[in-house]
């Protein structure tokens, strides 16, 4: 068999699409919408989240989000985030992408740059080092950033009930998170910004338009 024939038999690697943003930006609603839309287009996909996505990584998520009396050292937080990510990546994300499934992930490493880098003030260089160690070459094919005024986002998050350890941060923390996301949306070519302050149908039109570029790429492969 020729090499090109063999490569045609192998499934094409799936697309890796991540959903990012501060609190209360409507990520969860829109990721469901994206999943339904892509499924209607015949895409075989997997919906997952970070921190989490495997039983062990979900346990780490519980450790990260719980409000506790002991203050959590920033470096402990960063390493827990990447510990959960290594498990999730190797057990779930990479095998799915290799089978040709598309993976929709509610947050990924851009959240680490925003929350641990800008929010907590940890070294960006340190995060880059862990990113290379854990992910090697893997980066998202597309990141939809749900961007929203932090005051509106906090209001929406408060309306959902009890706040977790991150949601309990002060407004300045969320301003830094938002600024980092916006900064990365300029430096990283896989970002698309969605103005999450509009009505749901308008937001969903934008989500659909972004996903269509991925579908178009797939059909051209």
Which residues of this protein are in contact with ligand TMP, per CB under 6 A?
50-51, 81, 107, 111-112, 115-116, 166
- Nearest approach in angstroms of CB 126 to ligand TMP is 13
Question: Residue 38 or residue 177: which is nearer to ligand TMP going by CB?
Answer: 177
Question: Residue 82 or residue 102: which is nearer to ligand TMP going by CB?
Answer: 82
Alpha-carbon distance of 150 to 173, in angstroms, equals: 10
Q: How many CB atoms lie within 10 A of CB 82?
A: 21
Question: Residue 38 or residue 154: which is nearer to ligand TMP going by CB?
Answer: 154
Counting Cβ atoms within 10 Å, is residue 138 exposed (0-12), middle (13-18) or buried (19+)? Answer: middle
- Nearest approach in angstroms of CB 97 to ligand TMP is 18
Residue 130 near residue 84 (C-beta atoms within 8 A): no
Apex CA 126: angle with CA 123 and CA 127, to 5°?
95
**Preceding omega of 117 cis (within 30 degrees of 0):** no
- Nearest approach in angstroms of CB 4 to ligand TMP is 39
Residue 194 near residue 145 (C-beta atoms within 8 A): yes
Residue 24 near residue 156 (C-beta atoms within 8 A): yes
Question: Residue 106 or residue 141: which is nearer to ligand TMP going by CB?
Answer: 106
Alpha helices in 54-140 (DSSP H): 55-65, 74-88, 94-98, 109-112, 124-135
Question: Residue 66 or residue 99: which is nearer to ligand TMP going by CB?
Answer: 66
- Nearest approach in angstroms of CB 188 to ligand TMP is 15
- Nearest approach in angstroms of CB 128 to ligand TMP is 14
Question: Residue 115 or residue 181: which is nearer to ligand TMP going by CB?
Answer: 115
Q: Is 90 strand, coil or helix?
A: helix
- Nearest approach in angstroms of CB 170 to ligand TMP is 14
Question: Residue 35 or residue 218: which is nearer to ligand TMP going by CB?
Answer: 35
Closest by alpha carbon to 143, among 196, 92, 106? Answer: 106
Q: Is 150 strand, coil or helix?
A: helix
- Nearest approach in angstroms of CB 50 to ligand TMP is 4
């Amino acid at each position: 068999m020729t090499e090109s024939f063999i490569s045609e038999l192998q499934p094409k690697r799936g697309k890796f699409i991540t959903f990012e943003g501060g609190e209360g930006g409507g990520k969860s609603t829109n990721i469901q919408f994206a999943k339904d839309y892509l499924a209607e287009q015949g895409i075989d996909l997997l919906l997952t989240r970070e921190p989490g996505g495997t039983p062990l990584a979900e346990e780490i998520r519980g450790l990260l989000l719980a409000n506790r009396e002991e203050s959590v050292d920033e470096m402990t937080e960063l390493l827990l985030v990447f510990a959960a990510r290594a498990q999730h990546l190797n057990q779930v994300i990479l095998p799915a992408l290799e089978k040709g499934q598309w993976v929709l992930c509610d947050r990924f490493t851009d959240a680490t740059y925003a929350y641990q880098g800008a929010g907590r003030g940890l070294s960006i260089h340190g995060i880059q080092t862990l990113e290379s160690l854990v992910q090697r070459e893997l980066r998202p094919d597309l990141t939809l950033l749900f961007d929203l005024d932090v005051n509106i986002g906090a209001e929406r998050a408060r309306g959902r009930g009890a706040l977790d350890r991150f949601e309990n941060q002060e407004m300045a923390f969320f301003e830094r998170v938002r600024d980092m996301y916006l900064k990365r949306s300029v430096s990283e070519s896989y970002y698309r910004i969605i103005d999450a302050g509009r009505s749901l149908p308008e937001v969903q039109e934008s989500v659909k338009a972004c996903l269509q570029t991925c579908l178009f790429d797939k059909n051209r492969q």
